Amino acid sequence: MAVAAELASAVDIAANLARVRAEIAAAARAAGRAPETVTLVAVSKTQPAEAARGALAAGQRVFGENRVQEAEAKYPALKAECPDLQLHLIGSLQSNKARAAVALFDVIETVDRPKLARKLAAEMAALNRWPRLFIEVNAGGEAQKGGVLPAEADALVALCREELKLPLDGLMCIPPLDQEPSPHFALLAKIARRNGLAKLSMGMSADYPVAVALGATHVRVGTAIFGPRRAPL
């Protein structure tokens, strides 16, 4: 594969960001929402730090990574260069990486089981660092996929908020790849509403305008900004 030919340049990244931001704003306005109510999370997984720098130069401040180790390789330097950079963990988290995740990320979007919630609570207290949290919901009920099942979501919300006193902001989902995403986005919004949670992380490159129409406060967009993904680092 001619990797070099596919590297998105800083110019491409700035143009792609402008287009994605404009589409988010249009979708928000069409839904009667202010564009500022939607946060764009630029997903830089598999991309070199240079790509994230291109986005930073274009004013982007919120980034997402799906693996702790890859983020540890790229983001401490970027955070030092840009102290208001906000980093979201959007990939599943093993309990043995909870401490490293708490140390690096500003938002962890993939809390999906009681054991992990308890581990995060312990590590946050130990490090005295309090990333904001989202619970990932397996909206499509897929086997082999991360996320708490919809029927178990309310109990996990209650555990996080009431027993563990965690800083829980909202819910996140990744709908099944082969299905229309809208019903899954609507289900996520419904679970959030009945639990009094204000934030919804949903929508990726293929479907973020639909997600905004259904209430997304965070969209996670990778390839539409950075171009095709590389082999995992």
Ligand X SMILES: *Cc1c(COP(=O)(O)O)cnc(C)c1O
- Is 99 an interacting residue with respect to ligand X (CB under 6 A)? no
Number of residues that bind ligand X (CB under 6 A): 14
Q: Please tell me whether residue 211 binds ligand X under the rule CB under 6 A.
A: no
Segment 113-172, which members bind ligand X (CB under 6 A)? none
- β partners of residue 148: 137
The site map against ligand X for 63-82 (x = CB under 6 A) is ---x----------------
SS (H, E, C) the chain: CCHHHHCCCHHHHHHHHHHHHHHHHHHHHHCCCCHHHCEEEEECCCCCHHHHHHHHHCCCCEEEECCHHHHHHHHHHHHHHCCCCEEEECCCCCHHHHHHHHHHCCEEEEECCHHHHHHHHHHHHHHCCCCEEEEEECCCCCCCCCCECHHHHHHHHHHHHHHCCCCEEEEECCCCCCCCCHHHHHHHHHHHHHCCCCEEECCCCCCHHHHHHCCCCEEEECHHHHCCCCCCC
Residue 21 within binding range of ligand X, rule CB under 6 A: no
Measured from the CB atom, is 12 or 161 closer to ligand X? 12
Q: Which residue is nearest to ligand X (CB)?
A: 222
Among positions 14, 38, 44, 45, the unique one binding ligand X when judged by CB under 6 A: 45
Among the residue ranges 4-12, 18-26, 152-160, 214-222, the one whose residues contact ligand X (CB under 6 A):
214-222
Considering only residues 162 to 201 of the shown chain, the ones binding ligand X according to CB under 6 A are 174
Q: Binding of ligand X at residue 58 (CB under 6 A)?
A: no
Closer residue to ligand X in complex, CB, 139/174? 174
Q: Considering beta carbons, is residue 90 or 101 the nearer one to ligand X? A: 90
In the complex, the residues that contact ligand X under the rule CB under 6 A are 43, 45, 66, 90-91, 174, 204-206, 220-224
